Amino acid sequence: MSRCLTTVWKKWFGKTDNGSKLYAGLDPVRVPRHVAIIMDGNGRWAQKRGLPRPFGHRAGAEALRAIVRTAAELGVGVLTTYAFSTENWKRPAEEVDLLMKLFSDYLDNEIDELGANGIRLRFSGQTDALSPGLRAKIAQAEATTAANGGLVLNIAVNYGGRAEITRAVRLIAADVASGALAPGDIDEATISRHMYTAGLPDPDLLIRPAGDQRLSNFLLWQAAYAEFWFTDINWPDFRPEHLIAAVADFQRRDRRFGGLTR
């Protein structure tokens, strides 16, 4: 067992048989480079407990802390989290305001620890539609952590997969119109370079808690060959052992990318 896996095992499981079994099957060489998570089920988590929805969002923010630490210790290269979609603006204004405040508070409270652990923050989505104060915090967080060489925490905020593809098409069309790009030179790599995730590997593993089994407009281009892992557990109850179980399941799958296994 590698040192990083041993660290996680001791930290989260002590010496329990369950923890030992989970780690015994993990191959540190085959940890997914990029894990994407749709952080779903906050509201349902709160409602099941007779609590207002905001309690679920706060609990979800707490769950994220543990998952970021675990992903970094496992050696995951990129963790993309779906924090707020372009469709989430349809929710009640009070809930939207709370989500934006939680996002702002997360940046305030976590930036020092993220930086100390070598984590680089990156953001995907239409951030120009956010408040000036939040945009300033996002820019500061990216600049402060830009030189970090560890896990890339890519937060998708005001993000929509179709909107991202539409944006890429417009940027490519502008390059063609200016003469900087010939139409015949447009290929998949061209499109990927114009996505928010330019420079990042495509997700190997996409996790969705809370029972729904759909992409919900998340990473539509990038997830073409991602392995999906679904669970009925609501996001606030998602723990490091669930991430480890998802990685273990990922490692048991035969990824052929349209080809055949020899």
Which residues are tagged catalytic? 40, 88
Radius of gyration of the chain (CA): 19
Residue 220's identity, in one-letter code, is: L
Are 126 and 86 a contacting pair, CB within 8 Å?
yes
Residue 199's nearest CA partner among 255, 122, 144 is 122
Catalogue the E-assigned strands of the chain.
34-38, 78-85, 120-124, 152-159, 205-208, 227-230
**What single-letter DSSP state applies at residue 214?**
S
Which conformational region is residue 261 in: left (phi greater than 0), alpha (psi within -120 to 50 degrees), or beta? beta
Q: How far apart are CA 249 and CA 7, in angstroms?
A: 20
Which one, of 255, 203, 205, lies nearest residue 231 by Cα? 205
CB atoms within 10 A of CB 244: 22
Q: Is 81 helix (H, G, I), strand (E, B) or coil?
A: strand
Residue 218 DSSP label: S
Indicate the residue type of 209.
P
The token duo for 259 is 């080809």
